[in-house]
Amino acid sequence: MLILIPSLILFLTALTLIILHLARPAFRYGWMVAVGGTMLGILVVFFWQGRMPLNVSLHSWRSSTLYQEAISFHGDGLTWPFVLSLSALALTVLFTVAARSAFANPFAWAGTLSLIGLGLLAVTSANPLTLLLVWSAFDLAELLTLLRSVDGPSASERVVIAFSTRLAGIGLLLWANIVSISSGSTLEFTSFSPQAGLFLVAAAGLRLGVLPLHLPYPSESTLRRGFGTTLRLVSAASSLALLAHIPAESVNSSFTPFLLFLTTIAAIYAGWTWLRAPDELIGRPFWILGLASLAIASALGPNPTGAVAWGCALILVGGALFLASVQHVWLNRALLLGAWSLSSLPFSLTASAWGTGRYGIFLPFLIIAQALIVAGFVRHALRPGGRDSLDAQPDWTRNAYPAGIILLLLIQFLLGFFGWDGAQNLGYLPASIAASLLTFGLIWATPRLRLLNPVRAHWVKPASSWLDGLYRGLWGLYGLLGRLSQAVTATLEGASGIMWTLLFLALFISLMTQGAP
């Protein structure tokens, strides 16, 4: 049960916060309760190191008449960095929220811890059934949250469309499960059928917006720094963790080059848009899309360690950048450690990104996408002033806020040397050096070339792929059928409904009796 303890701690802490707020609205130590529970969860995650691999199955759920597998969870050298990254993200959100105006919000803290708890269950899922249940719970929570945070029917429609794409990803996961069953394989990720591997890639790619290229959620939501960042990063992590389970034999397919081609296009597009985004929050969807594309490319390599590295970089590097809401010169410079984490240089977080994969002619273009992402990160990290100063905050906030940002930076550094299968890795030097040189060139050229300068905010919007048009067309067809059904219903239920019913009945009897002898 050790593998479930971090999630249980977060859920219990969230429940405690809600009960305390409802029973004692004037309770002043709710934030300390949240921080204490999160710290305890992180300590348990570090305690995993001496006991991995970890496995647990909830056999009481098992019903052989419905399904053969049990709800089970697994922790190993590819799961642990995801769990540590998400746990550290929870603590950083709590530390950095102290510097924002909407600080005293126990429901937001409870929501953050609950989302992280679901994320931990997703990244440790040992079979498709477990992951499917966690995905469903997370998607429903995301749907309800976004519907409450957007205004207008158009924005609500985009939320429902985004929810539909996630359901399609669940459908692909179910299909992969069916393919694995038909080939006689056991229903565990550790022994999944090679024939089902590409369906797992497609399921993750669809939920992440990479295969095919689209933005899987609307940007009109009012959720911004704390809870919004948690929702986006945890949602991406729950899908990225699936890439660590792709069987190596499954990528030896004639479809792999085509999938790599689509993934490379998505990576370059996302990197280019991220580099030119006016600020980091507007560009956040493209940050997720870009690093998710690199992770999927690594999984197609096949290089599951590289996929995990890009996934952890998405959480840790992106979390530090998106949660940094206060102007502080030294913290902004400290954020540049994220550029090293993204560089794939030796002993960095992403050093294993290009080492063992076979990418063929797509590798140079993937390196270009990597350089665009790193250069964009440097530009956003060294953003100009105009924000609130940390010096204007209370004393305890001036200590808590930097501690939260530094925590994610330390975890990035730690994962380069310790704790998982990609630690202490020299990587592939030609690729990492090329990416670094190209990054320096882009940083030098950005203020000098108008083409690389940031664009106005209204230019960056999630209506940029043919798939969005397809979804809107299908949604329009659904609306047309709904209006037609309402018209028929209104006709039949009106004053002349009985006459119409008798007429249809007479026509039906007439048609049936025409063929009678």
**Per-residue pLDDT tens digits for 240-250:** 988 988 877 87
Check residue 463 and give its pLDDT.
39
Q: How far apart are CA 442 and CA 373, in angstroms?
A: 10
Residue pair 245/302 in contact (Cβ under 8 Å)? The answer is: no
Check residue 479 and give its pLDDT.
60
Residues 6+ apart with CB under 8 A from 426: 346, 347, 351, 355
Six token digits for residue 505: 């009945």
- Which of 87-101, 218-232, 373-387, 447-461 has maximum average pLDDT? 87-101
Check residue 152 and give its pLDDT.
72
Residue pair 87/42 in contact (Cβ under 8 Å)? The answer is: yes
Check residue 1 and give its pLDDT.
76
pLDDT bin (cut points 50, 70, 90) of residue 177 is: confident
Q: Evaluate the CA torsion angle 226, 231, 232, 233 in order and state its sign.
A: positive
The string of pLDDT tens digits covering residues 504-516 is 666 666 665 655 4
**Across 290-295, average pLDDT:** 94
- Which of 92-101, 195-204, 413-422 has maximum average pLDDT? 413-422
Whether 490 shows a pLDDT value over 80: the answer reads: no
Whether 455 shows a pLDDT value over 90: the answer reads: no
In 3D space, the residue among 292, 299, 332 whose CA is nearest the CA of residue 314 turns out to be: 292
Lowest mean pLDDT among 205-219, 345-359, 382-396: 382-396
Q: How far apart are CA 114 and CA 212, in angstroms?
A: 30
Whether 220 shows a pLDDT value over 70: the answer reads: no
Q: How far is CA 339 from CA 318, 470, 481, in A?
A: 11, 37, 51
- At residue 441's C-alpha, the angle toward residues 440 and 444, to 5°, is 85
Q: How many helices (H) and strands (E) does the chain have?
A: 18, 2
Residue with tokens 């290229």: 213
Whether 385 shows a pLDDT value over 70: the answer reads: no
**Across 310-334, average pLDDT:** 88
Six token digits for residue 464: 């940029």
Check residue 384 and give its pLDDT.
59
Whether 340 shows a pLDDT value over 90: the answer reads: yes
pLDDT bin (cut points 50, 70, 90) of residue 458 is: very low
Whether 267 shows a pLDDT value over 60: the answer reads: yes
Residue with tokens 């990418």: 359
Q: How far apart are CA 112 and CA 101, in angstroms?
A: 17
**Across 101-106, average pLDDT:** 70
**Across 372-379, average pLDDT:** 94
pLDDT bin (cut points 50, 70, 90) of residue 377 is: very high
Q: How far apart are CA 481 and CA 329, in angstroms?
A: 57
What is the amino acid identity at position 97?
Answer: V
Residue pair 462/219 in contact (Cβ under 8 Å)? The answer is: yes
* Average pLDDT of the chain to the nearest whole number: 82
**Across 480-499, average pLDDT:** 57
Bridge partners, residue 485, by sequence? none
The string of pLDDT tens digits covering residues 341-363 is 999 999 999 999 887 778 889 99
Between 335 and 449, the more confident residue is: 335
Which pTM value belongs to this model? 0.85
**Across 298-314, average pLDDT:** 92
Whether 221 shows a pLDDT value over 60: the answer reads: no
What is the amino acid identity at position 442?
Answer: L
- The length of the chain in residues reads 517
